[in-house]
Structure 1
């Protein structure tokens, strides 16, 4: 084997627990491996940060902090983070392993998708992003590479929480062209100030690409693509795929509006629009095969609601240094014939020509019959049943000569209530005729009601949400005259709302009654403290002093400043003055009035003109106070006498 292809981590055990079996993919920030958790005996994906990035302490700290946050985001369409750790120079994340392919693989294999397939992929993606948005997370790097499609048809979003860290090291050159294709205009103009609507924009671009098989903005360089995002609207998909439904054009236009305020405010709102668009389309419109599709060999008539066409030829990742050779053999491999006996016995026997010929013919006939039996009508394949109703699945099994086995029911966020979410054996598996197929039928999403958390502490509210199977979301604080400081005012979604189990519920916590901050600059520290404490505020004196217009020892500045509303118990920081800055006064005697004023003002002084009766028509400075060369407080007034 060529040693240049070997990966030093393959075969090693990280942190005494994770055995690295194969390299799956290499990205700009990390390498992803298939690994085995030797403690729990489960396969997972191990994302190992490149050593060049691992030396940046701030980057690693942010990587870890955000990974921990995302680990709390429990959603069936989000790739879960199990563990995080370091082993020497390796910083890693242990994540859920998804056997399947990415949406990029699907687009590369299939080109444009049918509208039904595009919506079947888009909706779970938006469900995942919606849960993240309501919990206070923004993905900021949505693209087909981060949408995983499992062999069982499940759709999952990857790289939550890591993309913010990537922002600190990414540039818009070279290999990043694929990423800039999904950037919202505000991400280009104001990096770091993005909110949930940048994910909405990216999803609109991804939908366009699924419907047309191409990106809406293309160019020879990233700069060209960025310019188009800023100055050109995403064209309607029907301009590329004639006959595409108007509702799909509207959905793309809404999501990719260049002005953020015109877009749906988050993925939940876009998901609602997508469902409305789906309901408005006929089966013929949903199942229309676009001319840009690269493969016409799949007929969705039997599997009209499957997430994506089955039978993708996308290659599965193989180990980089593994010893798993790929065998190419015939369909039926026969073991070698056993020896006919000891050499001496064989030599002593008489050859019997006719008998040998008859035996060979019989052997050939038996072998052919065996092959015919295995490959003939005695076997069939499990038909595609996912997303069909239980009755439809029963009819299809009967039509294919199979029996319905056990029917189990389970909750699902991605399959409609009453539809098949998995089968055993899986679709496409070979099975004897008259055997049975077990089904798992969806109960729909498990839902719970948001409890009344008003007047509870955040800790009590989080505990109550966990009890109901909900996740605490982001916490915001607002002034409230009725609710005590530190207690919950409201939730989003509100009390009594029916939500899916595992959804995040945001909390609004009271900052108490607002207090108008008085202006204490220029006062002594003692007087300032007394005035602020009387208003219910705490006081901190900052170390160090600054020059100001106030005398040394008085309050030079305060933070927050006058007129700002603060909550009772908040801290106001006071900075004391070390007196005005003393600067040298320019000598302007003999100069014209205009020149003198310009010099003095440039030095930081105010100017007062004293003309008297004799200087009404004069234009020359005869005297100044303070005198030139003396030192005076910056900002003080210099009087010039004009004659």
Structure 2
């Protein structure tokens, strides 16, 4: 594992000003002990220019644990470099500079979904059904793209010239859903993702926020699959509609026990007032049995588009833009004075 003393020493000595042609503006708080985040902008931008990018820096370490972290870091950069979808941040630069591994991606000015839902304040609130369908529709489309992402086959291999990369996000949660001031919904943080590009020995089985893991991942009875990602997606939908955290246990073991016993058909877990299509999305994809869930994210997208709550996408986008602007203003008003 990483030695925290090495990280602390390196942080004091490492005076980063720019990486890959991007000027670092200020650090961004993160709970990660293995990476650091910085707001950034192109070096060609004038002084005082706003942040347009986010730089992710790998902290130094040693041993087998660090080798896994380093492989996952490079894997995330490779995925972002290859993806091309409006609902996923684009990679702008990556490499090693002065011994520092880094990559730079688009910065989404706004808030994450967890902040909008009040998770950080301990005061969760619901959003409208129409807004929930809009947000989930955008996420489902990004997830459909990720799950079906193909790459060219190696020269000489049989087939149609492309093969599925078998990408799984494995960490779908409100904190990894970014909402822009324009009302865009972006799926981020592929640091826990798996694919054919990442060797099995570097694919941590326990990756992801515990409170959004599917039951089969918690019990170890099944590995991460498309259907476990869909469970996490539906859990986000449940929390948006109910305006509360689903699992609120005080520690991971108790949370895992709650997940294993979770029953969407129980009266205490139901969400009332939904159209039949929207209710089906929740009921099917929050089923404890993965075989009863939808086979792919496109099915989620299809059912959401057929729901009666899906009729006002542009209006919902404008509403989301307004709510994000209010959340940003509130954050600034409560921020401690410098």
- The answer, yes or no, to whether TM exceeds 0.5 is yes
Using the size of structure 2 for normalisation, the TM-score is: 0.73
Partner of 2:231: 201
Do 1:201 and 1:255's aligned partners in 2 also have CA atoms closer than 8 Å?
yes
Q: 2:31 aligns with which of 3, 9, 27?
A: 27
CA distance, structure 1, for counterparts of residue 298 and residue 328 of structure 2: 34
Listed as ranges, the gaps of 5+ residues in structure 1 are 287-301, 319-324, 327-643
Q: Kindly tell me the number of residue pairs found equivalent between the two proteins.
A: 291
Partner of 2:327: 314
Shift of 1:190: 3.3
Matches within 5 A, 1:129-168: 129-135=143-149, 136-160=166-190, 162-164=192-194, 168=204
Alpha carbons of structure 1 residues 59 and 282: separation in structure 2 relative to 1, 3 Å: closer
Shift of 1:250: 2.3
- How big is each residue's C-alpha offset from its partner over 1:290-340, in whole Å with a ceiling of 9 and x where there is no partner? xxxxxxxxxxxx95563526154334788xxxxxx88xxxxxxxxxxxxxx
Do 1:84 and 1:94's aligned partners in 2 also have CA atoms closer than 8 Å?
yes
Shift of 1:34: 0.3
Q: Secondary structure at the match of 2:92?
A: strand
Q: Secondary structure at the match of 2:55?
A: strand
CA distance, structure 1, for counterparts of residue 265 and residue 274 of structure 2: 13
Listed as ranges, the gaps of 5+ residues in structure 2 are 1-7, 150-165
Partner of 2:160: none
CA distance, structure 2, for counterparts of residue 192 and residue 85 of structure 1: 35
- How big is each residue's C-alpha offset from its partner over 1:460-504, in whole Å with a ceiling of 9 and x where there is no partner? xxxxxxxxxxxxxxxxxxxxxxxxxxxxxxxxxxxxxxxxxxxxx
Matches within 5 A, 1:221-240: 221-234=251-264
Q: Does 1:68 align with 2:78?
A: yes
Using the size of structure 1 for normalisation, the TM-score is: 0.41
CA distance, structure 2, for counterparts of residue 110 and residue 305 of structure 1: 21
Alpha carbons of structure 1 residues 16 and 71: separation in structure 2 relative to 1, 3 Å: closer
- How big is each residue's C-alpha offset from its partner over 1:400-443, in whole Å with a ceiling of 9 and x where there is no partner? xxxxxxxxxxxxxxxxxxxxxxxxxxxxxxxxxxxxxxxxxxxx
CA distance, structure 2, for counterparts of residue 169 and residue 193 of structure 1: 8
Partner of 1:90: 100
Shift of 1:74: 0.6
Partner of 2:152: none
CA distance, structure 2, for counterparts of residue 304 and residue 61 of structure 1: 39
Do 2:304 and 2:310's aligned partners in 1 also have CA atoms closer than 8 Å?
no
Partner of 1:450: none
CA distance, structure 2, for counterparts of residue 225 and residue 203 of structure 1: 18
Do 1:208 and 1:237's aligned partners in 2 also have CA atoms closer than 8 Å?
no
Q: 1:46 aligns with which of 39, 52, 55?
A: 55
Partner of 1:18: 22
Partner of 2:128: 114
Large movers: runs of 4+ above 6 Å: none
Matches within 5 A, 1:170-189: 179-189=209-219
CA distance, structure 1, for counterparts of residue 316 and residue 171 of structure 2: 31
Matches within 5 A, 1:391-406: none
CA distance, structure 2, for counterparts of residue 241 and residue 80 of structure 1: 35
More strand by share: 1
Alpha carbons of structure 1 residues 96 and 10: separation in structure 2 relative to 1, 3 Å: farther
Q: Secondary structure at the match of 1:56?
A: helix
Do 1:123 and 1:271's aligned partners in 2 also have CA atoms closer than 8 Å?
yes
Q: Secondary structure at the match of 1:200?
A: helix
Do 1:124 and 1:155's aligned partners in 2 also have CA atoms closer than 8 Å?
yes
Partner of 1:375: none
Partner of 2:154: none
Shift of 1:72: 0.9
Q: Secondary structure at the match of 2:28?
A: strand
CA distance, structure 2, for counterparts of residue 116 and residue 215 of structure 1: 20
Q: Does 1:217 align with 2:247?
A: yes
Based on CA coordinates, which of the two structures has the bigger radius of gyration?
1
Partner of 1:567: none
Shift of 1:150: 0.6
Do 1:217 and 1:225's aligned partners in 2 also have CA atoms closer than 8 Å?
yes
Do 1:11 and 1:19's aligned partners in 2 also have CA atoms closer than 8 Å?
no
Q: Secondary structure at the match of 1:313?
A: helix
CA distance, structure 1, for counterparts of residue 222 and residue 22 of structure 2: 35
- How big is each residue's C-alpha offset from its partner over 1:202-247, in whole Å with a ceiling of 9 and x where there is no partner? 0110000000111323322211221222232235798565544454
